[in-house]
A and B are shown apart, each in its own frame.
Chain A
């Protein structure tokens, strides 16, 4: 008798309790075998001992003292001769050097403002259609920026402009992409805010890019994207090198609303962020172009991309930084003078772009061939297919790798201490410890710097996870 017909379908029933609730979790993850049980207890004991030690040390912290020696005395007096603890007083007294370097006290509001405006510039590209998260950034950043600016006694005009910008941004944030123009203008505002001097410089530089954009827009229909982009770059260069100086010279007044601050005063995390953020935002587009170039059928484009990537990847970053600070000047005509910071930014950008290109190439290789074929079959041209079909998918696959490079890049900004710039880890810490009062402070500055680096890098990592979740459309 094998004949059987089911009359009614069975309902789904819940799994046994030992399989799902917390008991199930513990059994599976902590106590699944004798070895596992032993490891669980050893780990608990080790964690307990470490936590005990760290918490005791942290609880012995001293916040008010005039020197490292005084800290030691206070700890001795309160907790006995065996005790040790951190001397946070050094951070309390010198925090501003870790943050701003030697940026003049009365101008601290400028980096603060700059940072707030940077977060605002991130909103459009990072949260293009996520109103909720866009506002979660705009509101607290706006409030915090204004409060800090007031605390840093910023001029009233600057505070009013800041308030207007943030309120305006909030007002149009129903579509975060509307903030994109700000993202384009921001780098020029930032340069002017940080370095000060005449407003004419950044405006003229921006106009060069506007010219480039206009040329591409007018000609790309007829000549194609690469050729028109090339002509645009030529036009922008003509503007920057030939027309701009003449026009700038003929301007009435010097338009200097802000006091000039030299690069030598910029240090600490201000420097790390200037280098890190500029390099990150330029390395991504450059990396994309290099990755496409490496896959291109055009012989010259292909070989140039491969050559660039392999050369830059094959050389340590420090070498490139030395090139930036010393050698680059030999190759450039004598009248072209770049700031060291700018040169370092350019070479760090190149370095990261080479890595990003390889990460993205991996993403491109991971796409099924059918995607390009489908785009071709629909009649999309090369750039449309790349922009609309290939890159959105390849970049999505590459997010973990790209963020990896970005985090590495941000931490590598500390290497600029080797070319005499004041990075937060070595540069500023060395300066602080050179003070006779704070001799002996090892843990405190490093912990402080590490904490800030951790927040920035963890933030990037979390954003990457958020982005991956938001872009997940494959429903596997």
Chain B
């Protein structure tokens, strides 16, 4: 019995059960149940204000949930700061506005957390950082400051910065929404490459092309609830709920 339980916990990356969240009296997330298997690529979409960002921000406790359980990699998120820091060091996050540290060089951005959180020696951290910067195809920018890079480059650095912590799960919060059209592709290509390596990913995005290319599940949210989830082809070609149909007609219609 114990063995079986262990086996499951090894396969489940994130387990959310009966989770509710309020901002003041506003009920933002309602009875969320979600299980993410290791290696799954999930795209979360929905109209603005539907709670999709809030949902993935709960997974690394940037937002606190008030009811229900969130278990990440076998660690339950409670008020215990040790657990929170543990989860955060295992879960990478990429933000809409990149949130690079403007006072540090690209290389320092990438080595900071490994050095201070993981206690990796500086030299080793720099080697890892260069490895991931090469992976996102901007090693030559390592000694520049974020302000000298374009939006797309900054977002790729942000991805590399998260990867330097060798996370087991990656969260993407609208990673391409603040980018010029010319730069969206370079970021999506990076994300696709990451997905192909088997990273567990949860992406809030409106890039339906990306969803069709790499996701193995699409979740549609509205008014703080999961309205519909399905594998991408079914989701796009054969949406079940009226709300989903309306949403899809609006974002794919033109």
A interface residues, Cβ below 8 angstroms from B: 368, 370-371, 373-374, 376-381, 384, 388-389, 392-393, 396, 471, 473-476
Contacts and interface: CB of A to CB of B under 8 A. Distances in A.
A378 B89 contact: yes
Interface string B133-155: 00000000000010110000000
Given A370-B95, A377-B62, 13 more contacts: A368-B99, A370-B97, A370-B99, A373-B95, A376-B61, A377-B60, A377-B95, A378-B88, A379-B89, A379-B113, A380-B112, A396-B103, A474-B102
A12 B81 CA distance: 58
Given A377-B62, A380-B116, A476 B147 contact: yes
Interface in B86-145: 86, 88-89, 91-93, 95, 97, 99-103, 112-113, 116-117, 145
B181 to A, nearest CB: 23
A112 to B, nearest CB: 38
A290 B97 CA distance: 30
Interface residues of B, number: 28
B45 interface: no
Nearest to B96: A370
A380 B97 contact: no
Contacts of A377: 60, 62, 88, 91-93, 95, 162
A371 B101 CA distance: 7
B165 interface: yes
B168 to A, nearest CB: 13
A468 to B, nearest CB: 12
Contacts of A368: 97, 99
B103 A392 contact: yes
A389 B60 CA distance: 19
Contacts of B234: none
B113 A475 contact: no
Interface string B194-205: 000000000000
A380 B117 contact: yes
Given A376-B88, A388-B116, A473 B102 contact: yes
Nearest to B161: A378
A379 B97 contact: no
A208 B86 CA distance: 36
A388 B92 CA distance: 19
B85 A371 contact: no
B117 A379 contact: yes
A475 B147 contact: yes
Contact of A389 (B81, B88, B101): B101
13 contacts: A370-B97, A371-B101, A373-B62, A374-B99, A377-B93, A378-B112, A378-B161, A379-B89, A379-B117, A380-B113, A392-B103, A471-B103, A474-B145
Contact of A379 (B88, B100, B145, B147): B88
A384 B165 CA distance: 16
Interface in B149-201: 161-162, 165
Contact of B99 (A373, A396, A475): A373
Contacts of B95: 370, 373-374, 377
Contacts of B101: 371, 374, 389, 393
A473 B101 CA distance: 10
A443 B105 CA distance: 53
A373, A379, A381, A475, most chain B CB atoms within 10 A: A379
A473 B113 contact: no
A388 B112 contact: yes
Q: 4 closest A-B pairs (Cβ-Cβ)?
A: A379-B89, A374-B99, A370-B99, A378-B113
Contacts of B116: 380, 384, 388
A393 B103 contact: yes
Nearest to A381: B85
A475 B102 CA distance: 10
Contacts of B93: 374, 377
A283 B104 CA distance: 27
Interface string B202-224: 00000000000000000000000
A473 B97 contact: no
A392 B102 CA distance: 10
A389 B99 CA distance: 11
Contacts of A396: 103
